[in-house]
Structure 1
């Protein structure tokens, strides 16, 4: 048996708004209700399960491996929506793309302080 990530819970103020925001930028199908969660399914059978949370939310980091074509589409959606992105998680390089491991990557702020990232090559895969 192999070990695989099946889902992770994303704490947010409004689960539907957050799922629509993340899914919209990533170009994913509409999320669906699943018990107290709004489930956003990714292409590799992992889901982000958004859950309404009262009180302080501690932002998490979520990184998505995407194709070069998907990267272009996601970057286009960020631009179209007038959203800010950075080449680095420290916000030193706004509106830039990094080229780690011979691919491309960028970061943007998602709902409730979560830090979202797209990369076209896994870290450590380059020359």
Structure 2
């Protein structure tokens, strides 16, 4: 049986600022303090735990979080991104500025959190056909 992801830790310059950024975009309840973390529970039981990094902000290793959302949730999240005038991209590495993508039979968009971590919202999981 495959393992299930329970939680992941994302290092940040301010754990609650980063956690609030995510909860605000996805329309989730406020993050909760859990030990040294600001915890953001997701619908499938996985928790994103933001931690204050012990390294300087310019030394943070950038991470990528891909969040699968429904078409309706995508519309709501994308409206929040546009309303806040956040930069967004259709592709990783900041390609396709102020555009969304239509890959894998769905829609997707990338936005950076306050520390530069990439957050991807997609409506259809990637099609893994072995070609690439």
TM-score by length of 2: 0.90
Q: What CA distance in whole angstroms lies between the structure 2 residues aligned with 1:113 and 1:119? A: 19
Which residue of the partner structure matches residue 77 of structure 2?
Answer: 74
Which residue of the partner structure matches residue 59 of structure 1?
Answer: 62
Q: What CA distance in whole angstroms lies between the structure 1 residues aligned with 2:47 and 2:75? A: 23
Does 2:107 match 1:104? yes
Q: What CA distance in whole angstroms lies between the structure 2 residues aligned with 1:125 and 1:69? A: 24
Offset of residue 35 of structure 1: 0.6
Gaps of at least 5 residues in structure 2 are none
Q: Is the 8 A contact 1:84 1:95 kept in 2?
A: yes
Q: Is the 8 A contact 1:101 1:125 kept in 2?
A: no
Q: What CA distance in whole angstroms lies between the structure 2 residues aligned with 1:33 and 1:107? A: 27
Matches within 5 A, 1:1-127: 3-55=3-55, 56-124=59-127
TM-score by length of 1: 0.94
Offset of residue 29 of structure 1: 1.0
Gaps of at least 5 residues in structure 1 are none
Cα distance per residue 1:32-85 (max 9 Å; x no partner): 011111110000000000100132211100000000000000000001111011
